[in-house]
Amino acid sequence: MDNTYFFSAFGTFGNPNGFRQSFFLGGNHHIAKEIRTFDLKTDAIKLFTQSTIYSIRKDYAGGCNLISYSVYTFAKEQNSDRGGTFIGSSLLFVHKIASEGLIISALNDFQRSLEKNNLSEGVITVNHSEQFSIQKPRDFDKIGFNVREIDELDFTRSNHNYLVVYCKTSAEELQNFYSKAIDLLNVYDTIYFTQSHEIAEFVKQKGIFKIVNDEGFDMELHNLEEERRRILQSAITELKREKEGLKDEKTKLLEDLNRQISHNEKRHQDNESKIKESKNRIEIISKEYDQYSEKIEELIRNLTADGKIEAAKKLHQEHKRLLTNTIHQNKGIESLSSLSSSSNARVQPARDDQPYSHGLSGFHSSGRNREKEFRVDGFKVATLILSLLLIGALVLCCLWIPKEYTTSFHTL
């Protein structure tokens, strides 16, 4: 069975069941559980003896879009004479619909068999819709081969508006109304059609549902078309306005981006210059350390040769000052400017008074303690030299002393 369409049969059954509806010939449980009832709002529209109402309705149930075509005929309840009671059927479509002629043919055929099998002298013979005896319409299987998509219809929006059309409801006339009514379901949730004068008068007197004749129906279509044109024109105008606005927006955005790119290119160039400058500074510092090391070696050689401590100390202080100045001038390596930041911070050592490693020894002076060490080392060197001179003098004296003095020494 094709689940894209199925039938519902319903009716009023009096106490204790009231209105009941059941689904036949397809459908699924989820849709059946959520779909609205096909009951009539009898304070707004009401069936009379020998009268019929047709309707078209949109629904959203079980996550599906539904269009239903219904027919209601007057029928009495068992053991009741109240008015407005009925028996009816509905052909429901999921997402698609068939041709209106085929719909009306199958719907009328199903309704005739429903009345034939479940009415006796105009009285409903069963107590619940589940007890209905139904019969598949002759053209039921043809429906699945003639379905089409539904366009431009919002199923999820309910307007809570209802329209009654007082018109002829022959198969030919109704086919024309049904084909046009699809569009009006954007304005009305349900549209009823009846050629009963009594029903039309009742609806008019109650004033709850809007009622029109066939000319009024055409006017509804005309108004809908005008509203669509207005909405369409408004949408086109809005799109044109947006298109015009895009020009200024594009120009401004591209200018901003090009300006940023130019700025980034300049930063990139600046960064390249900084990198080159930083490498040069590293080379200068490296050479300066090497030269300073060589000067220390030279001082050591000079001291070993001439022992001139004060002169060596002064020369070493001068060498150290030159080293410190060179390092101080070249140690500040600038950080590269990021493309998202304009900061231009420099990376500096933790302390400016210690620009290089204090692994130097000997004449490296960085405070009183080091000067004291230098002085102590100088005293030791002087003492050593004086001792050597004294020993040398004694040796000379022993070599040149007269023999008579040496005899005296031996006698003693």
Over residues 360-409, the pLDDT tens digits come to 444 444 444 444 444 445 556 556 666 676 676 665 555 555 554 444 43
Complete edge-to-edge strand list for the sheet that includes strand 5-12: 19-24, 5-12, 86-94, 64-74, 52-61, 190-194, 162-166, 210-213
Q: Break the chain down into helix, strand, coil percent, rounded to 5.
A: 50, 15, 30
Question: 34-38, 151-155, 287-291, 375-379: which has the minimum mean pLDDT?
Answer: 375-379
Query: What token pair was written down for 295?
Result: 């000067």
Over residues 113-134, the pLDDT tens digits come to 999 999 999 999 999 999 999 9
Predicted confidence band of residue 42 (pLDDT cuts 50, 70, 90):
very high
Cα Rg of the chain, angstroms: 56
Question: Quick count: other Cβ atoms within 10 Å of Cβ 321?
Answer: 10
DSSP 59-73: EEETTEEEEEEEEEE
Give the pairing of strands 52-61 and 64-74: antiparallel
Residue at 189: amino acid letter: D
Inter-axis angle of helices 309-330 and 368-400, nearest 10: 150
Query: What token pair was written down for 168?
Result: 């002829």
According to DSSP H, which parts of 156-196 are helical? 171-184
81 versus 215: the higher-pLDDT residue is: 215
Residues near 124 by beta carbon (within 8 Å), at least 6 away in sequence: 11, 12, 13, 75, 76, 77, 78, 85, 87, 118
Q: Is the alpha carbon torsion for 309, 311, 314, 319 positive or negative?
A: negative
Torsion of CA 284, 288, 290, 291, to 10 degrees: 130
Residue at 159: amino acid letter: N
Over residues 73-108, the pLDDT tens digits come to 999 999 888 889 999 999 999 988 999 999 999 999
In whole numbers, what is the pLDDT of the chain averaged over residues?
A: 83
Whether omega for the bond prior to residue 137 falls within 30 degrees of 0, making it cis, is no
Length of the chain: 412
Residues near 30 by beta carbon (within 8 Å), at least 6 away in sequence: 61, 62, 63
Name the DSSP class of 211. Answer: E
pTM of this structure = 0.62
- Counting residues of the chain whose pLDDT is more than 90, the rounded percentage is 42
Does 349 score more than 50 pLDDT?
Answer: no
